[in-house]
Structure 1
Amino acid sequence: MSDPISALGGADFAGFATIREIGPVGMITLRAKAGTDGLEAAIKAATGCALPAMLRMETMEDRAAGWMSPDELLLVLPYAEVTRALDAIASALKGQHHLAVNVSDARAVFRVEGAQADQVMRKISPVDFDTLALGELRRSRAAQVAAAFWRDEAGFTVVCFRSVAGYVMALLSQSAQPGSEL
Structure 2
Amino acid sequence: MSSENILICTNCGETAKSERRRYRYLESGISNLYLQGTEVAECLRCGESHVIIPRIAKLHRAIALALANSPARLTGEQLRFLRKHLSMSGEQLGRYLHTDKTKISKWESGDDPIGPSTDRLIRLLVAALDGELRPGVTAIAEHLPQIRDESGKVWELQVDVATLQSTFVSVSRAA
TM-score band (shorter)?
under 0.3
Q: Which has the higher contact order (CA 8 A, sep 6+)?
A: 1
TM-score (norm 1): 0.22
Q: Which has the higher helix share?
A: 2
More strand by share: 1
